[in-house]
Amino acid sequence: MTLASSGGTGAVTWAVANGSTLPGGLTLTSAGVLAGTPTTANTYNFSITATDSGVPPQTATVVFTLTITPKLAITTTSPLPSGTAGTAYSTTVLTNNGGIAPRTWSWIAQAGSSSLPPGLSIAPGTGVISGTPTSAGAFNVTVNVADSSSPPQTASANFTISIATAPLSVATTGLPNGVMGQAYTGAMLQSAGGNPPVTWSIVAPSALPTWASLNASSGAITGTPNAAGTTTFTVKATDLSTPVQTATKQLSITVVAALSITTTQSQIPAGTVGNAYNAQVTATGGTTPYAWSWTAQVASSLPPGLNIDPVSGAISGTPGGSGGTFNVTVTVTDSTNPQQTASANFSITITVATLTVTTTSSSLSTGIVNTGYPNTNLNASGGIPPYTWLQTGGTLPPGLSLSTSGVISGTPTTATGSPFNFIVTVTDSAAPAKTANANLTITVNAAAACGPALGGSEAFLNGQYAFLLKGFDNGMGTGETSPQPALVGGVITVDGAGHITRGHR
């Protein structure tokens, strides 16, 4: 490094200031060149003085700070920690903190080494080697590091990373169930660790089901189950390690009957709109519990008001709508692994009951002239509610009327002593609508007598009443010589129709 100055007169002479020391290995020439090979890493503070050629001479002194870092070197030694195929690996290659940070790492396979360890990589910014090795072997690598000097310093080191083979094991945890009469597929034995390829066999005295066979190379178990039940056996894997490794595991295959819906069309009853409906769909085979569902077939719909229970397969509810024939597909899924599914098509016929007026004349109250008639609802069954009511013939007692909702109400104004005959018609909400008629009668009686006159207002005398009568007796009692004052009190209960139902004095 050449030092520079400004100002002064003539040539400048450079020197280390009295009492100051340069870093070991460095010298300063009178021309201001600071040079040499540092011998010790450290941070140094020293003073340098510049003197010009003036008379008298001028001087200038500056304190310098110089940091000497170690020469970049890799301090980690070979071999690096060993790893195991299939197991996460991590280690860090270290330097002496020499050179100028930041530092950049890289690695290459050494000459004669087939490759870097498969599954591992080195982080350029940290020197961390990590990953999950996928192959066993001894891998020879050269690790390089470069600092940020210009030009950069570099350092290299050769390492060996040994990746051991993981112990051989049978990785298969379970085999799928089989179904009688259906080809058994998807059963493939799997191994882990060891040195592939693996050869498979069955350990005697255990044995595969009679219908099954094992491919020694692929580990596939195939065949067509012909009997239900569970067969337990022990499989053995053998690898190509030296010496060979073996591993065994006990497995089983369960064969179940094919899943099918056993309910027939004849077991699906017809239903009636407005009436509770129940039907049961059943299945056999597979593995319980079952899961049930249904869908409408093309050009049809599900019966309104009905549902299928996803657990039991029960079809229930109260049919609504206008009736008809509904074509549905019922599907059941079992709990086998893999699952089985079976479906069946059914038709559910929902009819509409005949519309009928259920109210009869005997269920209609007798009216009393000038007395409010108790509101009376006419009733019907069948058809599609809601209903609309009309009087379509005959005569209602004057003062009474029939609402469209089927309520007879009002106050009779005429008593004839003979029944009033009338016809009611109920219309449902079907499309097209249906109707039904009924001939009904209501009798209106005259008001009962109250006291000596007829046609009183007996309804006003209804309840419990107290009375007190005052007068004189006939004067014929014992010791009496003339009539004596007399009092009589009591309570009566009157029914509002002119009758005393209870009394006491």
Q: Which residue range is the domain that position 143 belongs to?
A: 83-164
Decide if 65 contacts 56 (C-beta within 8 A). no
Summarised one tens digit per residue, pLDDT across range 183-241 is 998 899 999 888 889 999 999 999 999 999 999 999 999 999 999 999 999 999 999 87
Q: Are residues 360 and 342 in the same domain?
A: no
Partners of 438 in beta bridges: 424
| Number of domains making up the chain | 6
Same domain, 95 and 158: yes
pLDDT in tens, 4-20: 999 999 999 999 999 99
Q: Is the pTM higher than 0.75?
A: no
* pLDDT tens profile 256-309: 999 999 999 999 999 999 899 999 999 999 999 999 999 999 999 999 999 999
> Is the N-terminal amide bond of 398 cis, ω within 30° of 0?
no
Sign of CA dihedral 384, 385, 386, 391: positive
Query: CATH number for the domain including 297?
Result: 2.60.40.10
Tell me which residue of 108, 106, 7, 19 sits closest to 51, measured CA to CA. Answer: 7
Of 164, 197, 215, the position where a domain reaches its end is 164
Tell whether 375 and 295 lie within a shared domain. no
Q: Is residue 473 part of a domain?
A: yes
Helices then strands (H, E): number in the chain? 0, 43
* Under 8 Å between Cβ of 501 and 493: yes
* Backbone φ, ψ for residue 12 (5° rounding): -110, 135
Q: Residue 45, class by beta-carbon neighbours within 10 Å (0-12 exposed, 13-18 middle, 19+ buried)?
A: exposed
Question: How confident is the prediction for the chain on average, in pLDDT?
Answer: 91
Give the model confidence (pLDDT) of 478-494 as tens digits.
666 777 787 878 888 88
Tokens 């129709």 belong to which residue? 497
Where among 317, 350, 383 does a domain terminate?
350
Mark whether 430 and 471 lie in a shared domain.
no
Average pLDDT over residues 341-360: 95
Residue 77 included in any domain: no
